[in-house]
Amino acid sequence: HQNWAGYRGASLHQYEQLQAVYEQLLDPIIVKDQPEVFVNVNTPKDEDAQGLWIFASNWTVPTDPEMMDKRLVQGHFNSAVKPVQAELGIRSDGIGAIYDVINAQQVSLQERDGRLYFNAELDGVEGRIYAALPEAIAAIHVSVPEEVTSGQRFTPRIRYQGESGADLAIMGNVQITVRDNFGNQLNQRRRAVLADGILPSVQVPAGINALQVEVIDTIAGHMVTVDVPVNMAGLQQVGQQSNLVTTYRADRIHDWFASQRDAGEEIIVLIDSGALSFEDGAVAVEEANPYADQLQTWANGIAESLRSAGLSARVARSEDVVTSRLHAHPWTGRMASYRARHSVPSYRIDAPVVLVGSPRTSPIIEALDRSMVLQRSAQIDAVFANRGLIAWNPRSFAPDQHAIVVALDDNAALAGLQERLQSLISQQQSVDSYYQAREWVRFAWSPSEVQIHKRDRGLFADSGNTMDHGAQREVSSDQRWAGLTATVGTAIFDLRASPGGVAIGTKSWVRPTGAISPDGDILGFWGGNDEITPRDVAISADGSHVAAGYALLGRSVIYEIGGDRQIKHRSGIVHSANMFRWDSFKESDRHIGANPQGTQFLLVSGDALIAYDARSLEEQWRIPMVAPLARQQGQPQPEIAYSPDGRYLLAQPRIQDPQPLDVEVVVERWVQRSDGSWDEDETTEQRVQLRCDVHRHELWLIDARSGEPKWRRLINKKLIDQATGRLLWRAGDDIEYQQEINGNWRSWSAADEHELPYVNGRPIDDPPLLRVPFWHLYSTVGPDGEWAIAGAREPRISLFDDEGKILRSWDERGLPDALQAGDEIPVHVVPSRDPRRILTFAPQRQSFIVYDLIIGDAATRRQARELSEKYDQLIRTIREEVRNRRNYRNYGDQDYLDAFAERISDVPEDLRDNLISRMSRVPAERRAGRRRDHRFFSSQIEDIEERLFQIGTPVFDAAAGMEEVTRLNVDALICDAAVDERLRVVYASLWDGTVRALDVASGEELWRTEIIGGARMDIVLDDNGQVEALYAGGSRGDLYRLNPDDGSIIWHRNITAETNRFDPQ
């Protein structure tokens, strides 16, 4: 799509002329009215089959100038094409009916000028598949034997009947499902069917007395279900028990063991002790694996088998043999962590390893399996009871070391694994030739091509063991199939409920924001054009208005339900100069907030934060803001969070001081030669007088009733040159004076002795800033604003007190593994009515953790604050030293360095020596022509900050901490959750397609309900704080209202059609 966007202009410019030329040369099979909808027409590879297959793909690039200039939607929303309706016209020769294969429906046709025209709706999907047939399919008929024999195979057939009553010789497409007499699914396959109608053969399992065969025609939606009696007379053993040990690459496993024996290497049989930490170069267990003792027993047995086969082996725990993190790339320093740096597994062991355990008992194996690095799945279908797995895993714990995974989940599997290991070690193993051939065919041919090949050569693989079951009976279709629409529905991305109904934001580009009443009736759908990607939605308590914040192009809108009134604001977006970059759409693009009671909407405009009464839409208050230089339309917000009682909200306004500031800067600029060129080796100082606007980026806890701040903290301060509108200086950064010379902009840095702008002859106050140690994107506010929590897109959170001071920050070191789901998956924090109790969880993990916030008394907090301020001052001293390049001329003077070392004597000696050594290198770096600045010391300063934090942790823990109360574990990955305000019941949506209610006190599951896909969740509380409504919005466009007491479905509807309908009428 990036390529097409690059040359579409030239292509479309010539499109009509080329089209006219080609149409004079030949009559095309198909014509279209949308040039960026690409259409491919295929004849079936089965020469006996009639009809055509049509593939239409929408590549229409959005034409909104902002979108083309700034960004294409990526990340949270899966489409970057403009929804269109295309009219396609196919030559009518031999075509009597056309079917949309996605919804298994016949399309409406209009005949004009020898063509059949139909509409391809490319709105909710980016492509469609059509089957063009000689006539419509009236029914299908499936033939099966009157009776089948247990343990044998039979081959059903399908016959397509046209509307004329004649049989159709077409290439069909079917889904075949086989169930036993208890309704358990035994097999399901989707296959293309040749014109002869032969379906894949069905194996009759031993020990059952009936089969049910379901055949779905996925073109026209006809369905046949037929029961087939099974003759069990004279039942004999027709097969043998499958091998209890699954082996992957037995040949490689044998060679690996042989190479270790030949080299005399000692094999490590590894016990996964749990999550490890790497502090001060020491490896230690940070979070113990509760199954380590069980793994010890299995590892001892495996090691004994290896020793009995003549190998050297010992059992070891991971903390004793892991040497370091295993890095995925070699780069270090500040920006190295901008991409995930760790491999899977993330521990390095420079020795041959046999890893023992299962996804349940070993976090390492769980990570290997979840990331599909493990070469064969070790989930329950392969490792259970007495079954096990032995897999060769290349380059697992070191770039040049392969490993073996021995997976088991029960003691009963150990003996079989020991026996199989000894066989693998002692006997030469060969590659499974059938497996090799099957893999080659799978990559080279489609299933239908294999069937054609077999038929043409009389090579049906099942013919030798397929029994002649005598008399056949034919069953006709009498049911309808709904098609694939439900599986390609438009995902609901955000969902907010109130007593007035539920608001949803979808991934549609047509009408992405909708509202549904408490009874399940559609109240309206809105949006489209520049109103797409609704990251946040809300509905008023009385169901009169819906608010939506559109992240892609920065719009905040309130819609009147049942009316035409609309309030719309335009604000800025975070964007890159390259709209195709991965980071062109981020979670910092939030444009609305709403209180939990549904009585207030907060909208972000280009120049203000504006609060509206959600019922009357009267403006309640506004906080004027200033548009930053890079975003002239305004600045978006991170998540706008309200306290549970709706009294306070957390936001980040950017404001401008009422009075400008007259400043003076001294900059170092190149000398311009007479010919206009610049001499970069010769510089001169220039003193410049400027009048500047003062911009402040602040964090406010705002009283939602008045708009006044309860507290405010400075995040950053900037000086903007009024004459040019360009940034001159920001707190903690360098001066950058920008000057226009002959139509070009030049940037000059401050002279060495003038690092800060001057006001009235004195350096400007460089204020202490609120330093949240990550990018603040997510927010939570406690009851009555007693505390607030800021979160990042990775597992990091910071706790603020009731004055806006940071009490404590947690990152990967301080959070349990259950809350660490990887980069770009944040920790969710849910407050409760109890000001000290919170619920936490991370999507894609499997635990909900209830914590009590521990906030120490004033003396303890003061001690922690003083220690923190001491450390901050220490870091500030170091930063001020290295930021002043004038000092660099002294870094060759040992006395100067010794004196500075004495000033920072509280820094641990090894890190202090490392920093001083780095400083002493600066003169040589400058002599070598490498101009160094404060960034040269970034890594050393970060190491010092880390060590000081570790030293101060006991004091910080006493001042602020999180004490685990209980943990609720689930057996599937979390999608989303909602919880009542007293934290009594967690309503969890899981990616296994269930919604469950979990009792917090006991950990018991109260009920579970199956839905389609994962879902966003929200609840509605009555006046007494009881849950009266529970809503779930699914990843396939399904919206549910559930009974919170028992999980029963009150109503269910799929909103894909409504959210993608071009014409609201």
pLDDT in tens, 294-316: 999 999 999 999 999 999 999 99
Q: Which of 513, 404, 299, 340 is nearest to 1060 (CA)?
A: 513
Residue 338 pLDDT grade (very low, low, confident, very high; cuts 50, 70, 90)? very low
Determine the Cα–Cα distance for residues 97 and 183; give it in Å rounded to an integer.
36
Tokens of 1006: 């109260």
Higher-pLDDT residue of 132, 933? 132
What is the rounded average pLDDT of the residues 378-390? 78
Helices (H), 410-543: 414-426, 433-444, 447-457
Taking only the tens place, the pLDDT of each residue in 346-360 is: 899 999 999 999 988
pLDDT for residue 980 = 92
Residue 674 pLDDT grade (very low, low, confident, very high; cuts 50, 70, 90)? confident
Q: 1063 Cβ partners below 8 Å, 6+ apart?
A: none
Which helix (H) or strand (E) element contains residue 623? strand 619-624
pLDDT for residue 240 = 46
- pTM greater than 0.75: no
pLDDT for residue 278 = 84
Which helix (H) or strand (E) element contains residue 223? strand 222-231
pLDDT for residue 439 = 63
Distances (CA, A) of 919 to 282, 749, 890, 901: 27, 22, 9, 11
Determine the Cα–Cα distance for residues 850 and 846; give it in Å rounded to an integer.
14
| C-beta separation of 499 from 1031 below 8 A | no
Which helix (H) or strand (E) element contains residue 290? none
pLDDT for residue 464 = 39
pLDDT for residue 335 = 46
pLDDT for residue 444 = 65
Neighbours of 894 (CB within 10 A): 10
Determine the Cα–Cα distance for residues 476 and 486; give it in Å rounded to an integer.
25
pLDDT for residue 370 = 82
* DSSP letter string, 483-511: -SGGGGPPPEEEEEEETTEEEEEES-SSS
Taking only the tens place, the pLDDT of each residue in 496-546 is: 999 999 999 998 888 999 999 999 999 999 998 889 889 999 999 999 999
Residues above pLDDT 70, as percent of the chain = 89
Q: Which of 403, 407, 406, 399 is nearest to 353 (CA)?
A: 403
Q: Is 1030 exposed, middle or buried (0-12, 13-18, 19+ CB in 10 A)?
A: buried
pLDDT for residue 938 = 86
Helices (H), 525-626: none
Tokens of 988: 């969890």
* DSSP letter string, 2-46: HHHHHHHHHHHHHHHHHHHHHHHH---SEEES-TTEEEEEE--SS
| C-beta separation of 707 from 698 below 8 A | no
What is the rounded average pLDDT of the residues 1019-1026? 90
| C-beta separation of 1029 from 478 below 8 A | no
Q: Is 186 exposed, middle or buried (0-12, 13-18, 19+ CB in 10 A)?
A: middle
Tokens of 642: 């309200």
C-alpha angle 665-666-670 in degrees, rounded to nearest 5: 130
- Asked if the model's pLDDT at residue 598 lies above 90, the reply is yes
What is the rounded average pLDDT of the residues 61-86? 65
pLDDT for residue 759 = 86
Determine the Cα–Cα distance for residues 626 and 30; give it in Å rounded to an integer.
54
Domains of the chain and CATH, by start:
2-133 (2.60.220), 141-233+446-480 (2.60.40.1930), 250-430 (3.30.379.10), 653-768 (no CATH), 778-856+962-1059 (2.130.10.10), 860-959 (no CATH)
* DSSP letter string, 923-990: HHHHHTT----GGGGHHHHHHHHHHHHHHHHHHHHHHEEEEEEEEEE-SS-EEEEEE-TTS-EEEEEE
| C-beta separation of 829 from 791 below 8 A | yes
* Phi/psi of residue 769, nearest 5 degrees: -105, 155
- Asked if the model's pLDDT at residue 583 lies above 50, the reply is no
Neighbours of 316 (CB within 10 A): 20
Long-range contacts of 744-749 (CB under 8 A, 24+ apart): 746/669, 748/667, 748/668, 748/669, 748/686, 749/667, 749/668
| C-beta separation of 351 from 345 below 8 A | no
- Among 92-96, 168-172, 436-440, the least confident range: 436-440
| C-beta separation of 1043 from 1030 below 8 A | yes
Specify the amino acid at residue 850. V
C-alpha angle 878-883-884 in degrees, rounded to nearest 5: 110
Determine the Cα–Cα distance for residues 494 and 56; give it in Å rounded to an integer.
30
Determine the Cα–Cα distance for residues 880 and 873; give it in Å rounded to an integer.
10
Identify the top-confidence range among 469-478, 572-581, 673-682, 797-806.
797-806
Residue 362 pLDDT grade (very low, low, confident, very high; cuts 50, 70, 90)? very high
Tokens of 333: 């320093």
Identify the top-confidence range among 362-366, 807-811, 941-945.
362-366
pLDDT for residue 445 = 65
- Asked if the model's pLDDT at residue 46 lies above 70, the reply is yes
Q: Which region, left, alpha or beta, applies to residue 937 given φ > 0 means left and ψ of -120 to 50 means alpha?
A: alpha
Tokens of 469: 């079951």
| C-beta separation of 690 from 627 below 8 A | no
Q: Which of 483, 402, 415 is nearest to 131 (CA)?
A: 483
Average pLDDT, the chain: 86
Radius of gyration of the chain (CA): 34
Taking only the tens place, the pLDDT of each residue in 887-914 is: 998 999 999 999 999 999 999 999 999 9
Determine the Cα–Cα distance for residues 633 and 347; give it in Å rounded to an integer.
47
Higher-pLDDT residue of 151, 317? 317
pLDDT for residue 463 = 40
Identify the top-confidence range among 326-335, 340-349, 659-668.
659-668
* CA trace torsion 43, 44, 47, 49 (10° rounding): -110
- Asked if the model's pLDDT at residue 443 lies above 70, the reply is no
Determine the Cα–Cα distance for residues 585 and 73; give it in Å rounded to an integer.
7
Place of tokens 């190491």: 943
* CA trace torsion 556, 560, 564, 568 (10° rounding): -10
- Asked if the model's pLDDT at residue 176 lies above 80, the reply is yes
- Among 28-37, 816-825, 1025-1034, the least confident range: 816-825
Angle between helices 894-903 and 909-920 (to 10 degrees): 150
- CA 104 from chain centre, in angstroms, equals 31
Q: 869 Cβ partners below 8 Å, 6+ apart?
A: none
What is the rounded average pLDDT of the residues 607-620? 95
Determine the Cα–Cα distance for residues 821 and 823; give it in Å rounded to an integer.
7
Residue 451 pLDDT grade (very low, low, confident, very high; cuts 50, 70, 90)? low
Specify the amino acid at residue 573. I
Higher-pLDDT residue of 634, 30? 30
Tokens of 20: 């006219």
Residue 449 pLDDT grade (very low, low, confident, very high; cuts 50, 70, 90)? low
- CA 12 from chain centre, in angstroms, equals 35
pLDDT for residue 1032 = 96
User: Does residue 44 have a cis bond before it (omega within 30 degrees)?
Assistant: no
pLDDT for residue 314 = 96
pLDDT for residue 577 = 58
Buried b or exposed e, range 483-499, using 16+ CB within 10 angstroms: bbbbebbbbbbbbbbbb
- CA 716 from chain centre, in angstroms, equals 30
What is the rounded average pLDDT of the residues 641-666? 92
Residue 706 pLDDT grade (very low, low, confident, very high; cuts 50, 70, 90)? very high
| C-beta separation of 419 from 247 below 8 A | no
Determine the Cα–Cα distance for residues 559 and 617; give it in Å rounded to an integer.
10
Tokens of 32: 């279209």
Taking only the tens place, the pLDDT of each residue in 978-994 is: 999 899 999 999 998 99
Distances (CA, A) of 675 to 682, 736, 738, 1056: 15, 26, 22, 66
pLDDT for residue 847 = 95
Determine the Cα–Cα distance for residues 139 and 480; give it in Å rounded to an integer.
10
Neighbours of 687 (CB within 10 A): 11
What is the rounded average pLDDT of the residues 908-925? 91
Which helix (H) or strand (E) element contains residue 579? none
Which helix (H) or strand (E) element contains residue 526? strand 522-526
What is the rounded average pLDDT of the residues 449-455? 67
